[in-house]
């Protein structure tokens, strides 16, 4: 519910400006807040504790000419112990667009923090 209130206004503004996700959702995808696809996310227990887990979603962005221009990395803190968001979300911009380089960047960011 939190993300369904937080993200759609910002996502709609990006779309109004001509930007969109480069990847189209599949029928079996689980999408939250209209833009975060669980298939394009990573969560690792060693990034936190059960009370403060971290999941990182990525969205490759394309412009009006359908050129991939970069990736949003969206970090979501959450708890597996109680209904809680232990830290505010964090958005990072990454210039890479290839899945393997995106995953490598996420792992590098999280394991060096």
Instruction: Read off the pLDDT of residues 3-16 as tens digits, 9 standing for 90 and up.
Output: 899 999 999 999 99
CB 61 within 8 A of CB 69: yes
- List the one residue out of 58, 56, 46, 57 whose CA is nearest residue 22: 58
Task: List, in order, residues 6 or more apart from 4 with CB less than 8 Å away.
Answer: 32, 33, 34
**Within the chain, which residues score under 70 in pLDDT?**
45-46, 112-113
Q: Residue 57 has what pLDDT? A: 96
Tally of domains in the chain: 1
Range of the domain at 96: 2-111
Q: Residue 83 has what pLDDT? A: 83
Q: Residue 79 has what pLDDT? A: 80
In 24-42, which positions are buried (b, 16+ CB within 10 angstroms) versus exposed (e)?
eeeeeeeebbebbbeebbe
The reported pTM is: 0.88
């Amino acid at each position: 519910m939190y993300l369904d209130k937080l993200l759609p206004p910002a996502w709609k503004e990006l779309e109004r400006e001509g930007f969109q996700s480069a990847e189209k959702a599949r029928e079996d995808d689980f999408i939250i807040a209209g833009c975060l696809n669980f298939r394009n996310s990573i969560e690792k227990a060693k990034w936190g504790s059960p009370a403060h887990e971290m999941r990182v979603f990525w969205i490759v962005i394309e412009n009006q000419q359908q050129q991939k221009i970069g990736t949003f990395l969206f970090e979501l803190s959450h708890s597996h112990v109680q209904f809680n968001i232990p830290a505010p979300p964090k958005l990072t911009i990454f210039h890479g667009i290839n899945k393997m380089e995106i995953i490598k960047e996420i792992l590098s960011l999280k394991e060096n923090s």
